[in-house]
């Protein structure tokens, strides 16, 4: 697997051999074609990060910082070091609930969710995002799931776009009052390590 755009375009990423379904390059490229104008200078959160492909792609394309949440981080750490972007990254080794709870005083412009395809991970993660108010006004959540899954988002969010790529569906989720609401959460650079 490789970074598909930006400063690190073409750089190879390691992928764990156990229990990981990395985002295909064609899906990543499509996602970044849709949200590309939001990336430069953004604070990004990559939940269920795995190899870190989505967050590292964001860094390559100009995101300011990325926080990665995953229970297994050894491959992710190697990828961050290989791309020489440690200064722009923070890893939280935890499940998604505990990881999000640790971020309750921080907010993000873009949040990626790439959970296992079966189960209620997206709904549960969106509930935690809403509970801890970690999505900035005008921010977006990009959530991948299997096309055979019916996804329901909490009422404080709306699905603004849905795209399908083979057996993968991608939801672009925002807050319905994102134009008028303000968020007072700290940025990544204000976070304590």
CB distance 43 to 63 below 8 Å: yes
Could you give the percent of the chain with pLDDT greater than 90?
Answer: 66
Q: Is 21 contained in some domain? A: no
Q: Give Cα separations from 30 to 3, 21, 42, 46, 51 (angstroms).
A: 13, 17, 18, 17, 19
The residues facing 89 across adjacent strands are: 66
Q: Pick from 96, 44, 104, 42: which is nearest to 69 by CA?
A: 96
* pLDDT, tens digit, 9 for 90 and up, residues 86-138: 999 999 999 999 999 999 889 999 999 999 878 889 999 999 999 999 999 89
Contact, 25 vs 1, CB < 8 A? yes
Structure confidence by residue, pLDDT tens digits, 28-43: 889 999 999 999 999 9
Neighbours of 120 (CB within 10 A): 13
Q: What are phi and psi of 153, to 5 degrees?
A: -100, 150
Task: Give domain status of residue 6, yes or no.
Answer: no
Instruction: Assess whether pLDDT exceeds 90 at residue 19.
Output: no
pLDDT at 116 (0 to 100) = 85
Sign of CA dihedral 23, 26, 31, 32: positive
Q: By C-alpha distance, which of 162, 161, 174 is closest to 126?
A: 174
What residues does 170 pair with on adjacent strands?
Answer: 144, 163
Q: What is the mean pLDDT of residues 153-182?
A: 82
Residue at 48 is within a domain: yes
Determine the straight-line distance between the first and last CA of the chain, rounded to whole angstroms. Answer: 29
153 lies in some domain: yes
3-state DSSP assignment of residue 87: helix
Instruction: Identify the weakest region by mean pLDDT among 20-29, 68-77, 117-126.
Output: 20-29
Question: Is residue 16 included in any domain, yes or no?
Answer: no
136 part of a folded domain? yes
Under DSSP, the state recorded for 72 is -
Which CATH number is 158's domain given? 3.40.50.150
Phi and psi, residue 121, nearest 5°: -60, -45
Q: Would residue 101 count as lying in a domain?
A: yes
Q: Does residue 132 fall inside a structural domain?
A: yes
Domain containing 167: what range? 26-179
- Please give the tally of structural domains in the chain: 1
């Amino acid at each position: 697997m490789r970074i598909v755009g930006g400063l690190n375009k073409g750089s190879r990423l390691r992928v764990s051999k156990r229990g990981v379904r990395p985002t295909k390059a064609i899906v990543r490229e499509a996602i970044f074609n849709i949200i590309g104008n939001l990336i430069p200078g953004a604070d990004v959160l990559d939940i269920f990060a795995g190899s870190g492909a989505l967050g590292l792609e964001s860094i390559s394309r100009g995101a300011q910082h990325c926080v990665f949440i995953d229970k297994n981080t050894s491959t992710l750490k190697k990828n961050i070091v290989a791309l020489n972007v440690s200064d722009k990254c923070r890893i939280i080794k935890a499940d998604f609930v505990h990881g999000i709870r640790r971020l309750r005083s921080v907010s993000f412009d873009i949040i990626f969710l790439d959970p296992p395809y079966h189960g209620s991970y997206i709904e549960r993660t969106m509930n935690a995002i809403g509970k801890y108010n970690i999505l900035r006004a005008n921010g977006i959540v990009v959530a991948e799931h299997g096309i055979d899954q019916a996804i329901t988002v909490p009422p404080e969010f709306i699905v603004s776009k849905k795209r399908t790529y083979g057996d993968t569906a991608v939801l672009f989720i925002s807050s319905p009052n994102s134009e008028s609401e303000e968020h007072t959460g700290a940025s990544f650079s204000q976070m304590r390590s």
